[in-house]
Amino acid sequence: MTINPILFGQGSYVDGQWFESDTQFSVTNPSSGTQIAQVADADIALTEKAVAAAKKALPAWRAKSANERAAILRKWFDLMNEYQHDLGVIMTLEQGKPLAEAKGEVAYGAAYVEWFAEEGKRVYGETIPSHASDKRLMVIKQPVGVVASITPWNFPSSMITRKAAPALAAGCTFIIRPSELTPLSALALAKLAELAGIPAGVFNVLVGTDAKGIGKVLTEHPDIAKFSFTGSTAVGKLLIAQSASTVKKVSMELGGNAPFIVFDDADLDAAVKGALASKYRNAGQTCVCANRILVQDNVHDAFVAKLTAAVSAMTVGDGMEEGVTIGPLIHEQALANIHQRVEASVAMGAKVALGGEPHSLGGAYYTPTILTHVTNDMPIAALEIFGPVAPIIKFSTEEEAIAIANDTEFGLAAYFYARDIGRVWRVSEGLEYGMVGINEGILSNVAAPFGGMKSSGLGREGSRHGIEEYIEMKYLCMGGLDA
């Protein structure tokens, strides 16, 4: 399958123009390691140009009514749906996830555009009862201004729309620097933005390999009001520090270490189904993937047997092939890191119930793996895995499960399976996580606030709260009314 030429961007999109350069970088297919495209490499000068373009485009975009902006965003949404298949193909080629998952992500990403186009019409201010008879107090809401963002490779499309849609709907202009591993999905979104009639300078895409250099401009430039990042906690901390120099507003969607707890009153088949979806989606490369599966001792063996049977039935292969449910990892370095942590954990006492090694397909393919006898201090449980490995930790009491679950610096997503209503509330309230799936392995959707506590981030994306991240609150005190 090839890339639809209508969607094929070969360089950055800045101020409504497509940029070429003699300096290019390769985009490769993780399933084969072969080159898919060569893309012009954005430099600092082009980054500065993008900031200037977004600043120049701001007054006219901000001045449009929310309805006018919504009408344009609606066209963008419609085009994403019209080209869903072709966008999915681009994503599978550059990221590796199975085509059905890629198309699902395109629809999920587009849904944010529709949602926020509508939500932009509901950015209400307020009036406040006054403390004095000659004064009236009000709050108006205004766009923050120019927004810059950096996104990762695991969701090459939806991580962009989740930020761009509320920003644009609120009246901000936007610059995105996607991961250099997956620039083509971002450029395809820009092709559709252009077709939808989003004005020049309102939505800019910078594709380049100089993550540090571009990131420094996007976090330190005085003309940027807000910086939004999705990626690792280590890089997020650095970017928060850089943003401090100009006191930018920041939103951070960082790493997770999701516990997935199976209590002895759980519906075990439902728990297996949930674990499969939560753990192995996108080959385990999501920040909300189940990272540690905690199973109560009296259902442990039954759960492991059922999970092993279900995971054994998964099909590993090229995401373009029919029936494939697990694609390759993003690159061979990722595989090496994961395998090293599996081996280190086995050396500490973990047992391999399934897999535990690179897949016979070679390259970046890893065998779906289940490890038992895991403890929370093993490297496979202490850190985000980002691969198709399910470490299973046995526990005996509810208190112990909550303590293990919370024993991490992260607090993004957690999941648990139980039927007892008292337990459901105790555990829901006891988990120090921004999102909790109860008898559910997949929880993200456009209407819900996505985000984490602790070192997992700042702010929320999606839902009615998501647009607030792109809005400045302004208090007006009007006096002299009795004079």
Question: Which amino acids are annotated catalytic?
Answer: 253, 287
443 binds ligand ADP (CB under 6 A): no
Beta bridge partners of 143: 471
180 binds ligand ADP (CB under 6 A): yes
337 binds ligand ADP (CB under 6 A): no
Among 212, 237, 351, 474, binds ligand ADP (CB under 6 A): 212
Coil, helix or strand for 441? coil
Among 96, 109, 166, 215, binds ligand ADP (CB under 6 A): 215
291 binds ligand ADP (CB under 6 A): no
For residue 56, the number of C-alpha atoms closer than 13 Å in the C-beta half-sphere is 13
43 binds ligand ADP (CB under 6 A): no
Least Å from the CB of residue 212 to ligand ADP? 4
| H and E: helices and strands count for the chain | 15, 22
Number of residues that bind ligand ADP (CB under 6 A): 12
Minimum CB distance to ligand ADP smaller for 211 or for 240: 211
Minimum CB distance to ligand ADP smaller for 272 or for 287: 287
Nearest-CB residue for ligand ADP: 215
Q: What is the 3-state secondary structure (H, E, C) of 235-295?
A: HHHHHHHHHHHHCCEEEEECCCCEEEEECCCCCHHHHHHHHHHHHHHHHHCCCCCEEEEEE
Q: Is 324 exposed, middle or buried (0-12, 13-18, 19+ CB in 10 A)?
A: buried
Least Å from the CB of residue 411 to ligand ADP? 18
Minimum CB distance to ligand ADP smaller for 70 or for 190: 190
The pair of structure tokens assigned to 357 is 């090694």
The pair of structure tokens assigned to 358 is 């690179």
Residue linked to tokens 């707890």:
261
> Taking contact as CB under 6 A, which single stretch among the options 32-40, 106-114, 227-235, 411-419 is the one that binds ligand ADP?
227-235
Minimum CB distance to ligand ADP smaller for 183 or for 319: 183
231 binds ligand ADP (CB under 6 A): yes
Coil, helix or strand for 72? helix
CB atoms within 10 A of CB 315: 12
The pair of structure tokens assigned to 359 is 């897949």
237 binds ligand ADP (CB under 6 A): no
Least Å from the CB of residue 216 to ligand ADP? 7
Minimum CB distance to ligand ADP smaller for 231 or for 274: 231
Minimum CB distance to ligand ADP smaller for 117 or for 283: 283
Helix (H) or strand (E) segment spanning residue 415? strand 413-417
> Taking contact as CB under 6 A, which single stretch among the options 3-11, 209-217, 297-305, 359-367 is the one that binds ligand ADP?
209-217
Among 107, 138, 238, 438, binds ligand ADP (CB under 6 A): 238
Q: Which of residues 120-179 bind ligand ADP (CB under 6 A)?
A: 150-152, 179
96 binds ligand ADP (CB under 6 A): no
Rounded (10°) CA dihedral 159, 163, 169, 173: -120
Least Å from the CB of residue 163 to ligand ADP? 13
Long-range contacts of 27-30 (CB under 8 A, 24+ apart): 27/94, 27/181, 27/182, 27/183, 27/184, 28/94, 29/93, 29/94, 29/96, 30/94, 30/95, 30/96, 30/327, 30/328, 30/329, 30/330, 30/331, 30/363, 30/364
Between vectors from CA 445 to CA 444 and to CA 447, what angle results, nearest 5°?
130
Least Å from the CB of residue 61 to ligand ADP? 25
Minimum CB distance to ligand ADP smaller for 196 or for 287: 287
Among 89, 224, 235, 427, binds ligand ADP (CB under 6 A): 235
Least Å from the CB of residue 232 to ligand ADP? 3
User: What string of DSSP letters covers 300-357?
Assistant: HHHHHHHHHHHHHT--BS-TTSTT--B---S-HHHHHHHHHHHHHHHHTT-EEEE--S
206 binds ligand ADP (CB under 6 A): no
Residue linked to tokens 């009036």:
127
Least Å from the CB of residue 19 to ligand ADP? 19
Minimum CB distance to ligand ADP smaller for 98 or for 215: 215
* Interacting residue ranges for ligand ADP, rule: CB under 6 A: 150-152, 179-180, 211-212, 215, 231-232, 235, 238
